[in-house]
Structure 1
């Protein structure tokens, strides 16, 4: 059975949030409370359904033990109880998952960095393929993708591309994409038809807010410069590109996509906050490495997580041993959700086990 005290506490908190939101408050507090309420509402609705099923089971049990109930009605009640028990078990599992401590950043937007690894021009082309896969997947989720900076490869694709993906739950669904992605295929430039293996690294960072990371302006070195690459005459006339270095950490970010220097600076600061926050997350994760080893989402960026084999039309995620013979659909972003769902399910199962099943 689920812990009734935890369920009652969630219902109480939900009612308190509704009461607080009905009072006058600052826009910042209103936004924070609204976000918490929106996350808690589906959980409380599930608690209500669970409580209703428990009441129905009690009513059926009472009917079955009542001496006045005839045999035919008792048989109907027994059948109904079996159905109610199945519903109870399903709702109980949903609530167990809902009670797992959430990653505070799951609802955040993300910054996705994709860099070509080993494989030269083919690696850059693969990096471009990965970016388009995430861009299409994001569109299917109703999210928006915006390129922050990009360095194109000589034969196409990208040596490096950084993009922001904005949408509810973006980090929750994309955070397991960090790591080394490997591709096996015959390059278009390969005359002998030999299969080449190339790689690209992906880093998915949650967008950090100012309250998450404090940055002292004295620790920054900010340079402006002319944007490079495609963009027409405007690019050559305006020093709108921004390069920001955080001296204590050595982290450097570069943004050139916007024509406005002010907007590029804002994006650069957002990227810097995300990188600083991510560095702290990785430090904390490494301290818990012994407990988390073998789990999905260990955060090890050097880990080879997935192979895309074009001759065989398959995609294999090595962390959970999942293979899909749907490579074209995955690259189109359509079947990527199947891999994401499997990774999230494995992650939740591990968290449930760590929590002792939320007994």
Structure 2
């Protein structure tokens, strides 16, 4: 950063040279409302500082860290603004002006990047943005290859959660008669994970040569991902609260004998639970646990998340249709991402961006970077 001393001006000749540039004509700035939001966060951050210093409360600590990240970007932008003005002041200087212009050309793109990031982070939060999330995965077009791809996506999200130090667990897995997964439900309990993972909702497409393909032909398959805000812990202690959130008669509760994994005990007791939400027709079935109360708690947690997602996106009268559109539309034309094994690339079609590191994305190490491209558009 160039520094200048006013007394130098007396030593300079009267003739000056103006360096014309379009860089200084397009300096990115934050809107007044976003600046006010940043200053509000600064006050809340100071209040949280005392609380997290005296007691460790996970949600408060995560909120504090999130605010710290925002303020770091905001303070960096303000520093750039000060330096920018200093450079403008000497841009007509015959000795220092050319170097000042060069620094401006480097600085303005950095300022633009910061403004873009802050615009996303400071805008009014999405409803339930602070919540954890539930991720539902189902195979689409492609038969058994679609099921295998769905399993790859599930493992990718589990690995990404590990990279982010998020709590993640498999709530439920379902298999078809051939032993392939036909459904998987994950739970990420960490504060704010929904705000990041919601960008993964949609149809994912894979292009690769299946292991069973003898002629080396590339097959195309799909899997559907739905990300829901998590409103319940999904355990026995939260069950009463979950049940109270529904009006009498709003949910029909059926119990039955479980099928599938769990051994003889599961299959000989009425441990499975089916919930039917009467107004929307949404059905949730849980049978993975031996305990009926635990299955019931998990089912209510999933039901609440599904209803919250619907409420968030559409009016009440369109709830059922929205759910069908989101979950069951798995044709290739609605894809949000394509995973191409031959070319070692992953393309986000919404952002028109391609990353040539398929293993990095599937391992979870580069997934966050790919999500951020669309998230910060």
Please report the TM-score for the alignment, with normalisation by the length of structure 1.
Answer: 0.72
* Inter-partner Cα distance in structure 2 for 1:326 and 1:58: 40
* Inter-partner Cα distance in structure 1 for 2:88 and 2:154: 56
What residue in structure 1 maps to residue 39 of structure 2? Answer: 11
Q: Following TM superposition, by how much is the alpha carbon of 1:168 offset from its aligned partner in structure 2, in angstroms?
A: 3.3
What residue in structure 1 maps to residue 370 of structure 2? Answer: 339
Q: Is the 8 A contact 1:150 1:158 kept in 2?
A: yes
Q: For the structure 1 residues 299 and 41, does the alpha-carbon distance in structure 2 shift closer, same or farther, using more than 3 Å as the test?
A: farther
Q: Following TM superposition, by how much is the alpha carbon of 1:166 offset from its aligned partner in structure 2, in angstroms?
A: 2.3
**Structure 1 residue aligned with 2:270, among 230, 239, 246?**
239
* Inter-partner Cα distance in structure 1 for 2:209 and 2:249: 50
Q: For the structure 1 residues 11 and 31, does the alpha-carbon distance in structure 2 shift closer, same or farther, using more than 3 Å as the test?
A: farther
Please report the TM-score for the alignment, with normalisation by the length of structure 2.
Answer: 0.69
Query: 5+ unaligned residues in a row in structure 1: which ranges?
Result: 24-29, 65-70, 288-297, 347-359
Q: Following TM superposition, by how much is the alpha carbon of 1:228 offset from its aligned partner in structure 2, in angstroms?
A: 2.2
**Structure 2 residue aligned with 1:229, among 242, 253, 260?**
260
Q: Following TM superposition, by how much is the alpha carbon of 1:141 offset from its aligned partner in structure 2, in angstroms?
A: 1.4
The DSSP-based 3-state class of the residue aligned with 2:126 is coil
Give runs of aligned pairs for residues 179-218 of structure 1, distance below 5 A: 179-208=202-231, 214-218=245-249
What residue in structure 2 maps to residue 43 of structure 1? Answer: 70
Q: Following TM superposition, by how much is the alpha carbon of 1:338 offset from its aligned partner in structure 2, in angstroms?
A: 3.1
Q: For the structure 1 residues 326 and 92, does the alpha-carbon distance in structure 2 shift closer, same or farther, using more than 3 Å as the test?
A: closer
What residue in structure 2 maps to residue 126 of structure 1? Answer: 149
Q: For the structure 1 residues 215 and 55, does the alpha-carbon distance in structure 2 shift closer, same or farther, using more than 3 Å as the test?
A: same
Q: Following TM superposition, by how much is the alpha carbon of 1:245 offset from its aligned partner in structure 2, in angstroms?
A: 0.7
Query: 5+ unaligned residues in a row in structure 2: which ranges?
Result: 1-28, 52-56, 233-240, 319-324
> Which has the greater radius of gyration?
2
Q: Following TM superposition, by how much is the alpha carbon of 1:224 offset from its aligned partner in structure 2, in angstroms?
A: 1.9
Q: For the structure 1 residues 223 and 338, does the alpha-carbon distance in structure 2 shift closer, same or farther, using more than 3 Å as the test?
A: same
Q: Following TM superposition, by how much is the alpha carbon of 1:89 offset from its aligned partner in structure 2, in angstroms?
A: 6.2
What residue in structure 1 maps to residue 313 of structure 2? Answer: 282
Q: Following TM superposition, by how much is the alpha carbon of 1:244 offset from its aligned partner in structure 2, in angstroms?
A: 0.7
Cα deviations by residue, 1:175-202 (Å, 9 ceiling, x for unpaired): 1222222223333333344333222211
What residue in structure 2 maps to residue 108 of structure 1? Answer: 131
